[in-house]
Structure 1
Amino acid sequence: MKKFHSTPGASIHKASFLPPAIEPASTSTAAIIGSFPKGSMTSPRQVRNWLAFEKEYGGLTTDALSSHCIKQFFNNGGKVIWVVRIGTRPIKGVSPFLRGLSLLDRIGSFNILCIPQTEQLPDTHAVKVMQAAIALVAKHRAMYVLDVPQRDAPRQTVRALTTWVNHQSNIHHPNVAMYVPRVQVPQSLKNATQQTISAGGAMAGVLARTEQQRGVWKAPAGTEAILHGVQDIEQTLTQSEMGQLTKMGINPIRQTSPSQFVAWGARTLSPSSEWQYLSVRRLGLFLEASIQQGLGWVVGEPNDEPLWAHIRQAIEIFLQSLFRQGAFQGQKAHEAYFVKCGRDTISASDQTAGIVNIMIGFAPLKPAEFMILNIQQKAKPFGEV
């Protein structure tokens, strides 16, 4: 069970007040850590279009792998991305990446993380970067689009990928997604030569675009999940190979026409079936973030029945609005979600300590079962004046 603590607000709420509305949290802000031709290395910047990025960090060059990924992010519908610059040329050591993750930790307001230059690192260094990245996205309720290291050995074939993934126990996490094969994009704006890069930047854009157009609960896969700006893919996967990858939680990219490529899978690398679907995991993270942020007013309130009723009311109104948008399964609200906050979730000792336990169940579009979220909030200890 997770513990969430909020900073007390300045307003005073009385027992008869209407709970403040829970506002939807952002789910489409990306972040990238990498080398760029220029720009600050101590203060990450948020950029909202390619021209702004080009002005502050430089344009496309042959070895600017991360710049190409940002270009793909904007090409595919991404709107906002944090840029964390850790150098000018390809980085060989671990320290710059860890420093970049530390800088990003201070920002916190991101939902999708890309570190495309991981593929240029030796395996031992890449593992350390990936472990730190996974810890960071777990902390901030974000998704990490993982890129496979290619320096020590080429890992383009399904057999090589399978061997590598099966030996990486630490990457099997519900907040991690992986896409193969790599994609081929124009080497520069004026040069028709192709460059092969990871699909992470393009897929970060597809995730953002899908959320903006259809909602975070829509799986970013299928005929709508087109990768714009991609000219080719590194290899064509057979139906059997795509099935094998999907079973491992790896999402294949498929060519559907001579000039069109789509994401053909939407899974996480979760070791359990509960969070194996990317849309379900992102919906769960979205609900946790929105509800925690929306219940900031709870701090300082007496931990008793009136507060619990207000919490249930606020969350149910929020979930009902999502239900009407098609976020859950079920024909009626009671088939789609439930909220518990009261004597069945809060013990006498919890009440005395000012701990509010909230249980939320929701029926995502995939799979059909109820998923359970346990949220813990802080209130005023019972009996304290």
Structure 2
Amino acid sequence: MSRDRPIVEEQELYRGLSVDPQDPDYVAHALADSSLVSIFGLVPKQRPKVTLSPGIEVGASYLYADENWQEQPVLTDYDLIGSHIDGTGIFALDRLPILDLICLVPTDGEVGPVALFAADRYCHRRQAMLFVDPPLAWSTVTDVIRERRTGGFSSPNVMTYFPRPVSPPGAPADQAPSALGAIVGRMVAGEAEAGVWGGVEREAVVVRFRDRLSCQLDDHDSAALLRVGVNPLRECAGGHVQLEGMVTMGRSGGYDAQAVNIGLRRLSLFIIGSIVRSTRWAAFEKNGPAAWNEVAQQVAEFLCELHDAGALGSGSVRNSYYVICDRETNSGGHRDVVGYRNCEGNGDGSGEPGGVNFIVGFALRGQEFHTFRFAHDRLECHVRPGGWQPGVALAS
């Protein structure tokens, strides 16, 4: 157990040991093969007193070997992740009914791989975007490209940038500067009036930023970064910096268009999340034609309103979305194919409360349809992408 990472990383347990050399459980013999602890000096002739740590008056506790260690307010990956049961760390956000984006900015400036993976999974479940600063190991464009091509992490729900800002004179050495707050704040500015879809066509974000960047990028560097799903951050006139590209870290993972562009991805997640929340009632209704028709009508009305507001692709309402919720999507065979096995009912209207399945497709640009399968059970709604369908225009 280490001070800076307060979790048990490795331990050995020895119960019922004795200080009697004639006892089969003699402590010196038991610890002879230990890889963590050894006998120092002579074994006492009497049972030692209970080990206590400062501030703990009752019961045994851990006692750190490093007596000169001082408490440091540095959050670890495990602090950031927290506990789903206790509602700590990132799971404290479960208290928010609607979640659009998360900025994960540790005090030491680095999001470790464990926290990144866990936060990505959490954002996937909450239909949210995750914004993170680049790793401290990225010092050149070559570093970025090498790590992105060999690291293996790719997600349409995560955004990062390069390069980092440089710490101003006098700043604490253990606190890495971040441009994330300024970038995200500018990105969402004005959405209260224009909606999430107001920034879909945005290709860059310009913010005032006083700190210098750690390196300067040219057009070739920017193009190379965008190909691996990293947004170039470049200095421009008047004490401003410009974030270019607006791509997610799914750019290098073979995802479709709505998963690569930040604006399209946020709009897609907004639509998915709205459908999930507004149709949760279906998980507790009888799985039959009445529920199917109600779900289809409710989702269709929502998508029609989005089309009228300009959020969906150009063209007629009829050609901008489709909703399928019927006997086929709720048959046992269909549920097994798409991987939803927790939903009850046999699709003939005789099912018990417990789950309704439906498919939704919508066009964000032109006639490029993006399809998602929704499956409600009594615990949550499972959403899976159904693929990208260019030129599809199904009658609703």
Question: TM-score normalised to the size of structure 1?
Answer: 0.64
Q: Deviations over 1:147-186 (max 9, x none)?
A: 2331xx4x131111111222321x3111111112223687
What is the rounded CA distance, in whole Å, between the counterparts of 2:202 and 2:274 in structure 1? 24
What is the rounded CA distance, in whole Å, between the counterparts of 2:126 and 2:196 in structure 1? 17
- Residue number in structure 2 paired with 1:116: 105
Corresponding residue SS for 2:273: helix
State the structure with more CA Rg: 2
Distance change >3 Å, CA 160–CA 299, structure 1 → 2 = closer
Corresponding residue SS for 2:327: coil
* Contact 2:81 2:90 (8 Å CA) reproduced: no
What is the aligned counterpart of 2:282 among 279, 285, 298? 298
- 1:277 equivalent to 2:276? Answer no
* Contact 1:221 1:263 (8 Å CA) reproduced: no
Give 1:361 shift. Answer: 0.6
What is the aligned counterpart of 1:168 among 134, 151, 160? 151
Give 1:90 shift. Answer: 5.8
Structure 1 residues 218-233: aligned runs within 5 Å: 218-219=199-200, 221-222=202-203, 225-233=205-213
Larger mean CA deviation between 256-265 and 214-223 belongs to 214-223
What is the rounded CA distance, in whole Å, between the counterparts of 1:200 and 1:100 in structure 2? 25
Give percent identity, aligned residues only. 24
Give 1:290 shift. Answer: 0.8
Distance change >3 Å, CA 322–CA 93, structure 1 → 2 = closer
* Contact 1:119 1:147 (8 Å CA) reproduced: no
- Residue number in structure 1 paired with 2:10: none
- Residue number in structure 2 paired with 1:203: 183
Distance change >3 Å, CA 261–CA 113, structure 1 → 2 = same
Unaligned runs of 5+ in 2: 1-70, 333-345, 379-396
Matched letter for residue 142 of structure 2? R
Give 1:358 shift. Answer: 1.2
Matched letter for residue 164 of structure 1? E
Unaligned runs of 5+ in 1: 1-87, 380-385
Matched letter for residue 127 of structure 1? P
The structure with the greater share of residues assigned to helix is 1
- Residue number in structure 1 paired with 2:383: none
- 1:159 equivalent to 2:139? Answer no
What is the aligned counterpart of 1:331 among 303, 312, 315? 315
Distance change >3 Å, CA 309–CA 134, structure 1 → 2 = same
Distance change >3 Å, CA 187–CA 346, structure 1 → 2 = farther
- Residue number in structure 2 paired with 1:266: 246
* Contact 2:80 2:90 (8 Å CA) reproduced: no
CA RMSD, Structure 1 to Structure 2 (Å): 3.1
Distance change >3 Å, CA 335–CA 213, structure 1 → 2 = same
* Contact 1:305 1:342 (8 Å CA) reproduced: yes
Corresponding residue SS for 1:372: strand
Corresponding residue SS for 1:280: helix
- Residue number in structure 1 paired with 2:129: 143
* Contact 1:207 1:220 (8 Å CA) reproduced: no
Corresponding residue SS for 2:364: coil
Larger mean CA deviation between 312-321 and 196-205 belongs to 196-205
Matched letter for residue 358 of structure 1? F
What is the rounded CA distance, in whole Å, between the counterparts of 2:192 and 2:80 in structure 1? 30
Corresponding residue SS for 1:226: strand
The structure with the greater share of residues assigned to strand is 1
- Residue number in structure 1 paired with 2:55: none
- Residue number in structure 1 paired with 2:356: 356
Distance change >3 Å, CA 149–CA 220, structure 1 → 2 = farther
Q: What is the number of residues matched between the two proteins?
A: 279
Distance change >3 Å, CA 185–CA 294, structure 1 → 2 = farther
Higher relative contact order (CA 8 A, sep 6+): 1
Corresponding residue SS for 2:182: helix
* Contact 2:208 2:239 (8 Å CA) reproduced: no
Matched letter for residue 103 of structure 2? C
What is the rounded CA distance, in whole Å, between the counterparts of 1:321 and 1:299 in structure 2? 24
Matched letter for residue 261 of structure 2? Y
Distance change >3 Å, CA 328–CA 318, structure 1 → 2 = same
* Contact 1:253 1:265 (8 Å CA) reproduced: no
Distance change >3 Å, CA 234–CA 213, structure 1 → 2 = farther
Question: TM-score normalised to the size of structure 2?
Answer: 0.62
* Contact 1:196 1:234 (8 Å CA) reproduced: no
* Contact 2:322 2:362 (8 Å CA) reproduced: yes
Matched letter for residue 166 of structure 1? R
Corresponding residue SS for 2:159: strand
Give 1:378 shift. Answer: 4.4
Corresponding residue SS for 2:216: coil
